[in-house]
Structure 1
Amino acid sequence: MKNLKDKVAVVFAASGEIAGAVARAFSQHGAKVYVTARNHDAVKALAKEINATGGRAEAAKVDALNETEIDNFLKKVIAADGKLDVVFNGIGLTYAEMGGRPPTTLATFQHFMAPMEKICGSQFLTSRAAARYMMQTQSEGTILLLTASLSRSKIPNLAGITAASAATEGLTRVMAAEWGGEGIKVMCICANALMETKRISGGIDDTAQQYGVPREQVVAQYKAFDIMKTSPTLKQLGETAAFLASETGVAFNSHIVDVDCGKMNVL
C-alpha cells in the first residue's frame, strides 16, 4: 500500500539506524525522501540504496543542530517540490556522547544539559522550521519527533537524557496544539530498546563494563519487563512512522506512540 504516494518527506539525522529505517519505509510507501545528516557519506549510501530498490531519495549534508543549515535546506526542498509533507528527526546520543552515566550528585551541569540541547533542542529547531514552511505552502503535513521510554522509566544515572526525553514529549503536545489549526499534525515516536541497533548494543556493552557484570545479565534486564515474547524491530518502527504520516494517522495527533510491543515498567 502506498500510504504516502507523491508525498515529500525530509528525514534529519538519517545516518542513524532508526532514521534510516523510517526513510526506507517512507520511500516504500511512495514518498520522495530527502535524507540528511552531518555524515554525508552515510546518507549518500542510504539514498543510493533507496533508489536502487525503486524509491526516490536525495542526500544532503545538514547539521540538525544548526538552525541556518536546517532552514536553508528546507528552503531548497520547497523550491524544488513546492511543498513539505513529512518531517522526521531521528537524532540520538550514545552514553559516551552524553559523558557517560555519572550519578546525578556527581554529574556536571554540562553533563545534564548536553542531552537537553542535542536531543530536545534539535527537535525544536527542525520542527519549527518545518512548520513554518508547511504553513507557507499550506502543505498540512506531519511532523514526527523521536523520544525514548526513559521519559517514563525509573533508571538511575541518566538524569540528562531522561529529562530530555520527557521534554521532547511535552514539546510534541505544545506544537500539536499550536499548529493543528493550520492542518499540521505533530506526533512523537517512543522507541524502547531496539536490540538490533548499534546504540542499544553499545549501551549494553558500556553498562556491562561499567558495573562489571556479564553482558547477558544486562540483556536479561532489558527484556525482563517485556509483556510479549517478541521485541520490536527497526522495520516495524519504520512502518509505524509511515502510518502516522499517512492520512489515517491523523487519529494519533499530539500523541506519544510507543513502539515496544508493551513494557510493564513503562507508564
Structure 2
Amino acid sequence: MLLEKKNAVIYGAGGAVGGALARAFAREGARVFLAGRTRSSLDATAEEIAAAGCQVEIALIDALDERAVESHANAVVRDAGSIDISVNAIRIAEPGIYGIPVVGLSLEKFALPITAYLRSHFLTTRAAAQRMSEQRSGVVITITGMPAQVATPGAGGVGVAWAGIEALTRGLAAELGPLGIRAVCLRSNAIPETTVIREGYDHRAKATGQTREEVQAAVEATTLLRRLPTLVDLANVATFMASDQANAMTATVANLSCGFLAY
C-alpha cells in the first residue's frame, strides 16, 4: 500500500473533496485524522472508512482558528507519533463571492476568500511543517482551481486566493526542502460531483436558458479529454503525490485540468 504507516491530517474532511481524499488515503494504509466544522459530515466519512477496516479519527476544528489548529496538531503527534501528510481541502462557501464581476463586488466580499483561504492555509501548513521539521520528513498538499492560472470571469477574490496558495506552496517547498519535506499543489478543473460546481452550473443554466447538462457539456468541450476531472481522479493523484513514489516532486502544481491547460 502506498501510504502504509503514514499519518494524514485532512482539513475540510467533511466536504466532497476532503472526504474523497480521506477515503483514498485510508485505503492505501494511512491512519487518517479528519478535521472539520460539521460533525455529521465528518461522522459519515469516518463511518465509511472504519467500515472498511481502516484507522480513522475525527475532530471538530475550525481551520481559521490558530489555537484550535495548533492544539489538534499537538494531539495528533501525541497520539500517533507524527504528522506525515497534511492536506487543506476547506471550502469557503459564503454566498456572493463567486460568479459576480469584480466591479460589482463589495470590498468585504472580494477580500473574504483571500483572507480566509490564506489564513487557513498558513495556519495548517505552518502547524504541519513545524512538526514535520522535527522528524525531517513529510508532505504538505494544497488544492486550488483553474482561476489561479486562467483568466476567469466572476472568480472575484477566489482566484486571487488560489494564486496566493500556490505561491505559498512554492515558498514552503523552498524553505522545507533541505529538511526532507515536500510541498505540492493540485490544481483541478471543475469537478461536477461537488456542490459548488453543481450550483454554479445551475446558476449559469438559469441565466442562459440551458440545462445543467448542456452547461457541463459546453465546459467539457473546452478540454482535450472532452471531460472534467472526478473526485476519484483528484484522490488518485493526491495519493500518489503523498506517497514515497513522488519523492522527487516538490514546489510543483499538478495539472488536473483534463487538458484545458496544455503546457
TM-score where L is the length of structure 2: 0.94
CA distance in 2, matches of 1:99, 1:243: 32
Q: Percent identity?
A: 33
TM-score where L is the length of structure 1: 0.93
* Cα displacement string for residues 89-117 of structure 1 (whole angstroms, at most 9, x for unaligned residues): 101234x5353433212211111111112
Matched, 1:114 2:84: no
Taking the TM superposition and a 5 Å limit, the aligned residue runs for 1:154-233 are: 154-209=151-206, 211-215=207-211, 216-233=213-230
Instruction: Describe the shift of the 1:225–1:212 C-alpha distance in structure 2 as closer, same or farther (beyond 3 A).
Output: closer
Aligned length in residues? 262
Instruction: Describe the shift of the 1:17–1:189 C-alpha distance in structure 2 as closer, same or farther (beyond 3 A).
Output: same
1:142–1:184: 8 Å Cα contact kept in structure 2?
Answer: yes
CA distance in 2, matches of 1:262, 1:141: 30
Corresponding residue number in structure 1 for 2:83: 84
CA RMSD of aligned residues (A): 1.6
Structure 2 residue matching 1:205: 3-state secondary structure: helix
Q: Which runs of 5+ in 2 are unaligned?
A: none
1:143–1:187: 8 Å Cα contact kept in structure 2?
Answer: yes
Taking the TM superposition and a 5 Å limit, the aligned residue runs for 1:130-149 are: 130-136=128-134, 138-149=135-146
Structure 1 residue matching 2:59: 3-state secondary structure: strand
Taking the TM superposition and a 5 Å limit, the aligned residue runs for 1:10-29 are: 10-29=9-28
Instruction: Describe the shift of the 1:93–1:218 C-alpha distance in structure 2 as closer, same or farther (beyond 3 A).
Output: farther
Write the letter of the residue equivalent to 1:122: S
Corresponding residue number in structure 1 for 2:42: 43
CA distance in 2, matches of 1:27, 1:259: 22
CA distance in 2, matches of 1:237, 1:103: 29
Q: Which runs of 5+ in 1 are unaligned?
A: none
* Cα displacement string for residues 41-66 of structure 1 (whole angstroms, at most 9, x for unaligned residues): 21122111101012111111011111
Deviation at 1:217, TM superposition (A): 4.1
Structure 2 residue matching 1:251: 3-state secondary structure: coil
Structure 2 residue matching 1:236: 3-state secondary structure: helix
Structure 2 residue matching 1:252: 3-state secondary structure: coil
